[in-house]
Amino acid sequence: MHRPPTIEHFRNATATIGIIGLGYVGLPLMLRFVEEGFRVLGFDIDPEKVTALNNSESPIAHLGQEAIRQARSQGFEATTDPARTAEVDALILCVPTPLDDHREPDLSYVLGTAETFAPHLRAGQVVALESTTYPGTTEEELRPRLEAGSGLTVGEDLFLVYSPEREDPANPNFTTRTIPKVCGGVTQACLDAGVALYSAIIDEVVPMSSPRAAEMTKLLENIHRAVNIGLVNEMKIVADRMGIDIYEVINAAATKPFGFVPYYPGPGLGGHCIPIDPFYLTWKARAYGLNTRFIELAGEINTDMPRWVITKLADALNDRGKPIRGSRILVLGIAYKKNVDDMRESPSVAMMELLRDKGADLRYSDPHVPVFPKLREHRFDLASTPLTAEALAESDAVLIATNHDAFDYELIRQHAPLVIDTRGIYRDPAPHIVRA
């Protein structure tokens, strides 16, 4: 057996790290390795992104130009060339794992990446998968492709681990370094290598018995959130019908010092994890003859929230003698969460599509997304509208979809004729403010 020669290099930061996928997961990871003195080689299939990074430009707003410039000055380089895999001591896969048109796992990015890079692997390298996926992916899907393509044996020549990302963009309380990282290796030698790799940049690495256990851990974390958000969204609907302020109820319940964790309702789920990950487990569970009814019910509730919000908006307009068709509706915030530019699975976009289908005259305002991007499934030829008193006053309804800190909520209260508040911004009742 070959003991990974890179373990000592991880400990003294003399290893070269390869990161495949330079997005919301890969770039923060790159910056963290660079911060500890590692040379990092980044791989991406998007030549425009590679060029931008090599020109010290950041494709992600909250990371900033200065961070990329500093990384470049410390040796970071981006490339589209998989043949350069031989230069690195560890290869970390941070590629998407979306759902296909049938809401089933789409592993094409992971498996395609493995097949592309495997011929260029060499003995002694560590390969880590960070993409969220169902239990068994690393061992049943990734391992055979790496071994077949490289001619290397996992656990002897090649050291394979699964260590799911736990990024929370724009969260001021946690960083890549301070968020504990779980890691499961195919063999003990793999685990040792993986722990050494991540211990170089993470304060606490949590070793696990297998990649399958680590894969399940990631799903549990996100399903926990999805189920609890589904619960509080359903409670919101009940409270709304009963004329009860759900935010008052949640905040009161949160005063209990044990047995309760506050979750807050919203217009639906967004991001690359929470709306998608439950389906990875439900799909895999069916292979074992199991139905995950509880998880699927939460998914149905959360998926239906944009439609419930638009119904509330339609009722509010109707009370003012206006239909949705032809009404001027200003959507505030189209990113999936506050203070970021990430639009993956954003419920704001789902609500915009519902409004467009009903004939609304749509505009949006989002300081983090100046132009509506070209998305695979969603098309809007729109640019962000400056949030002014005039823009608010000329709207028939203003829909607060994402609660960015940059919005002037007092300005909105004063000048919008009708506000649909999906984020609990306004606690004091007012005739022109509708909770949704």
**HSE-CB for 60 with a 13 A CA cutoff:** 18
Structure tokens at 110: 């992971």
CB contact at 8 A, 436 and 267? yes
Q: Which residue do the tokens 């403010």 mark?
A: 433
Q: Please indicate whether residue 94 is annotated as part of the active site.
A: no
d(CA 141, CA 139): 6
- Sequence-separated (6 or more) residues with CB below 8 Å from residue 255: none
d(CA 92, CA 198): 11
Q: Is 374 exposed, middle or buried (0-12, 13-18, 19+ CB in 10 A)?
A: exposed
Which residue, 47, 57, 50, is CA-closest to 77?
50
Looking at the chain, how many residues does it have?
436
d(CA 22, CA 24): 7
Q: Is 12 exposed, middle or buried (0-12, 13-18, 19+ CB in 10 A)?
A: exposed
CB contact at 8 A, 347 and 270? yes
d(CA 297, CA 290): 15
Q: Is 430 exposed, middle or buried (0-12, 13-18, 19+ CB in 10 A)?
A: exposed
Q: Which position among 94, 183, 190, 273 bears the catalytic label?
A: 273
The dihedral region occupied by 212, where left means phi > 0, alpha psi between -120 and 50, and beta the remainder, is: alpha
Q: Letter for the amino acid at 221?
A: E
Active-site residue list? 273
